[in-house]
Amino acid sequence: MQSLVIVHAEKYSHSMREVWNEFNRDAKNGTFLFDRDFMEYHSDRFTDHSLMFKDGDGRMVAELPAHVDGATIYSHNGLTFGGVISGFDMTTEGMISVFSSMNEYLLGQGIDRLVYKALPHIYHLAPAEEDLYALYRLGARLTRRDVSSAIYLPHAEQTGFWRMRSRKIHKAEQSGLAVGRSYEFDSFMDLLSRVLIERHGVKPVHTNAEIKRLAQRFPDNIKLYAATSRSGALEAGVIVFEHNETVHAQYNANSPGGKEIGALDIVYEHLIKEVYPGKKYFDFGISTEKEGMFLNEGLLKYKESFGARAIAHDFYELNLRDSLDRGVLP
């Protein structure tokens, strides 16, 4: 057996900001969510303890966006996705070494529990599931699985989404709605807040100010598309988070009138057929609640009516002391 790569783990510091961001931009599973300008918009809510991994020559080999709470490290509750970010040259053996150095470092810091949020494969530029094998070797437990729904866009026509939603889309077209990119984030977030409070008794994860600030920082990644009536009223909208090859519908909302005339349907049709046909995936987001144990069947049916199908979003827990006792890492 070949010897494992020697890896050293260290805590991220602000002085390494540009190094972190550059590595993330060039990674095979990096995303703008892991850029420090995105991660730190809510730094007041989380105690950052992100990790950087270097080889014996001081070369960066991996990063882990993370925060701590007591003796537990999370990857990362403030982000939709998490997990180890790695370069195109990362191997399974190298990832085992990354987790070995992570284990040693965290236990030395008095941290003995890891809650790990894996990045779904549709956000990878190249296969990047070495972390899942390393977690298995360590004895990590799968503790949660959410179901997201995504369209593989090169085959979007085969899914026939326009046929399944045709009645609503035709009604929206007849209503004279104008569909396109919008910068009216305040109006949309007000609509979204009303819808979420009325239906679920919750507020959006981001405030109006936060989403506007993030959209200003990442104008190529965070965009609002909306359907407006002839009078200029906002009837429906979708905020998309645009990643390398995948577009994620972060938020969507329909006004009562928009729901009647299919306003949200025509926004989605516009995104799938006109705006993003060159991407690989359009991800509608999860339809699960209560740690993945409750399936919102109505919401899922709506997403699947566009031709979207299941993508698993997995969460693991690892007792670091138990994994050390297993003796499976060098």
Neighbours of 117 (CB within 10 A): 21
pLDDT for 1 beyond 50? no
Q: Which of 146, 240, 234 has the alpha carbon at shortest distance from 195?
A: 234
pLDDT for 4 beyond 60? no
**CATH topology identical between 7-146+313-326 and 161-275:** yes
Question: Regarding predicted confidence, which is higher, 114 or 322?
Answer: 114
Alpha helices in 80-218 (DSSP H): 92-108, 130-138, 156-159, 161-164, 166-174, 185-200, 208-217
Contact, 103 vs 323, CB < 8 A?
yes
Compute the distance between CA of residue 29 and CA of residue 12 in angstroms, rounded to an integer.
Answer: 19
pLDDT digits (tens, 9 = 90+) for 107-144: 999 999 999 999 999 999 999 999 999 999 999 999 99
CB-based contacts of 18, cutoff 8 Å, min separation 6: none
The DSSP annotation for 59-92 comes to: -EEEEE--EEETTEEEE-TTSS--S-EE-TT--H
The DSSP secondary-structure symbol of 126 reads S
pLDDT digits (tens, 9 = 90+) for 287-314: 999 989 999 999 999 999 888 999 999 9
How confident is the model at residue 45, as a pLDDT?
87
Compute the distance between CA of residue 146 and CA of residue 314 in angstroms, rounded to an integer.
Answer: 6
pLDDT for 254 beyond 70? yes
Mean pLDDT across the chain: 92
pLDDT digits (tens, 9 = 90+) for 69-107: 999 999 999 899 999 999 999 999 999 999 999 999 999
Q: Which CATH code fits 7-146+313-326?
A: 3.40.630.30
How confident is the model at residue 145, as a pLDDT?
97
Domain limits of the chain? 7-146+313-326, 161-275
How confident is the model at residue 116, as a pLDDT?
98
Distance of CA 190 to the CA centre of its chain: 23
How confident is the model at residue 2, as a pLDDT?
40
Residue 326 confidence class, pLDDT cut points 50, 70, 90: low
Residue 17 confidence class, pLDDT cut points 50, 70, 90: very high
How confident is the model at residue 3, as a pLDDT?
43
Compute the distance between CA of residue 13 and CA of residue 25 in angstroms, rounded to an integer.
Answer: 18
pLDDT for 329 beyond 60? no
Compute the distance between CA of residue 135 and CA of residue 137 in angstroms, rounded to an integer.
Answer: 5
How confident is the model at residue 130, as a pLDDT?
97
- Model pTM score: 0.92
Residue 175 confidence class, pLDDT cut points 50, 70, 90: confident
Q: Which CATH code fits 161-275?
A: 3.40.630.30
How confident is the model at residue 159, as a pLDDT?
65
pLDDT for 325 beyond 70? no
Q: What angle do CA 203, 313, 113 make, to 5 degrees?
A: 90
Range of weakest confidence among 44-48, 119-123, 127-131, 275-279: 44-48
Contact, 39 vs 210, CB < 8 A?
no
Q: How confident is the model over 169-187, as a mean pLDDT? A: 91
Q: How confident is the model over 241-251, as a mean pLDDT? A: 97
Backbone φ and ψ of 299, nearest 5°: -65, -45
Residue 155 confidence class, pLDDT cut points 50, 70, 90: confident
pLDDT for 201 beyond 90? no
pLDDT for 165 beyond 80? no
